[in-house]
A and B are shown apart, each in its own frame.
Chain A
Amino acid sequence: MFPFSFEWVWDAAHIIFFGGLWYALSILGMGMTYVIFKSLYDVIWGKESEGH
């Protein structure tokens, strides 16, 4: 549910629940976006993977 949905209410419960959900999803999404772009960059510029 997003704030522009008709069911949305600006109260603490909605903000805490959905704030937590989006926060977690944002971290995962940004993390994976970083990994994909960094990997593309590494491949394009021919950087050798050093293992882990």
Chain B
Amino acid sequence: MDSALIPDGAKRCSFPVFAIGIAAVGAVLLWGVFAMFLIWFKGLNQTNMNDYYGFALWIWADLAVIAIGGGAFFTGLLKYIFGIDELKNIINFAVIIGFICYSSALLILAIDIGQPLRGWFIFWHANVHSMLTEVAFCLSCYFAVLVIEFIPNILENKQLIKIPFLRHVNHNMHGIMAVFAATGAFLSFFHQGSLGGVTGVLYGRPFGVREGLLVWPWTFFLYTFSAAAYGPTFTILVTKAVEKITGKKLVKDNVIRLLAKIAGWMILVYIVAKIIDTIYWANVTAPQLGFTLNDFYGHGFYRIWILYAEIIIGGILPALILIFKRSRENSTLLVLALILAVFGVCLNRWVMVLQVMAVPVMSFDQWAHYFPSWQEIATTILPVAYGIILISLTYRYLPVFPQEQELYPETIAAAKAEAEAKVQEEDAKKA
């Protein structure tokens, strides 16, 4: 039915099977959209946010998707600026994942501000003393970069590439992609950092506050570095998931292992910096503000295990698995490391958004509890469904994985034979 749009030589499931899959995920998407409209029409009273939790589940999801979407800017930096050419085989998919993550982040923000029609106020009536303004500027501009980086992928579609103008646009965009990639890396550095900087300058919240360099708290640098380190692990994890679902190998092992090795070393460097930061904060920064480590980890869900889980299970362990050749080349251990890494960075963002709000600050304060409403949960799941649908569409209709045809030469031969047979059939009809 849609075979005219499917890349040459690529084998995909039948259209009805694809449509059923999209419909199933689309139902979840619609649930999220329903909750989104409830919030837009009825207001933020649909959430369980309160005076303690001005930042809640959405902001965690926002920070988490921005961190795991960091694979796009970092892979682009490695490919276009550092010239690691092997990564051309995964850069398309990294961009798509980045696009999904950042568009989701913007969608979540559009829901979170409660008045999306006034979203442009941040550009026109900007508070130029706020790190969040810097985040808004860089996030919007970087999303524009991702759109630009995504366009050549779309133009590679079998039908679109036949149009001369679009074919030239595609070619010329590739010619200057390094400029866009460099701009993207510059923007990412600042918005990732400023997201961390927001927690670091919360002077009224000793759990989050950090010392730093000039106007930038250490969390500024930790967030940027963690996004660059952990982002590629999510790219590889989703690639592995797509390979599992489709039952096909889509990227060669040497590419995956190279990116995994780089991510492993980056995570190791990050986690060492994180440990130093934690020790200094626990022994110097917090005591200066009248707190001990036990004050932050002594209640309900928020016990000291959460710190160990973040640093050891979500940091040291995946880093060690990824840097050693033997463990990295074991597919089970590789996937385990990727899952732990994604868990680690998401837990870090959870702690820095939600635990910051939960810890009592005044002597008469209690630990603050919060559980999201169903509307918050639905709108947080919405980007997941959207991501699955977009990945499905791009995988089906665009040549996302350049090595797919190389890995399956028999499908190319079959496609060519089929095309030749069609031509012969048409010739016979004409005769």
Contact = CB atoms under 8 A, between A and B. Distances in A.
B2 to A, nearest CB: 25
Say whether chain B's binding surface is mostly helix, strand, loop, or mixed: helix
Contacts of A40: 165
Nearest to A32: B148
A49 B137 contact: no
Interface string B113-152: 0000000000111101100011001100100110010000
Contacts of A18: 126, 128
Give the size range of B's interface with the partner: 20 to 34
A21 B137 contact: yes
A42 B166 CA distance: 11
B186 A49 contact: no
Contacts of B168: 38-39, 42-43, 47, 49
Contacts of A32: 148
B14 to A, nearest CB: 31
A24 B212 CA distance: 26
A7 B122 CA distance: 13
A28 B227 CA distance: 23
B128 A31 contact: no
A17 interface: yes
Contact of A1 (B125, B170, B175, B190): B125
Given A14-B128, A39-B165, A28 B171 contact: no
A26 B86 CA distance: 31
Interface in A28-44: 28, 31-32, 34-36, 38-40, 42-43
Given A1-B126, A28-B141, A49 B183 contact: no
Contact of B183 (A7, A24, A35): A24
Contacts of A42: 168, 172
B187 interface: yes
B419 to A, nearest CB: 20
Nearest to B169: A39
A28 B128 contact: no
A5 to B, nearest CB: 7
Contact of A49 (B126, B144, B171): B171
22 contacts: A13-B128, A13-B129, A17-B128, A17-B137, A20-B190, A21-B141, A24-B137, A24-B141, A24-B186, A27-B183, A28-B180, A31-B179, A31-B180, A39-B165, A39-B169, A39-B172, A43-B165, A49-B164, A49-B168, A49-B170, A52-B170, A52-B171
Rank and list the top 4 A-B pairs by shortest CB-CB distance, nearest first. Answer: A39-B168, A52-B174, A13-B128, A42-B168
Interface of B: 123-126, 128-129, 133-134, 137-138, 141, 144-145, 148, 164-165, 167-176, 179-180, 183, 186-187, 190
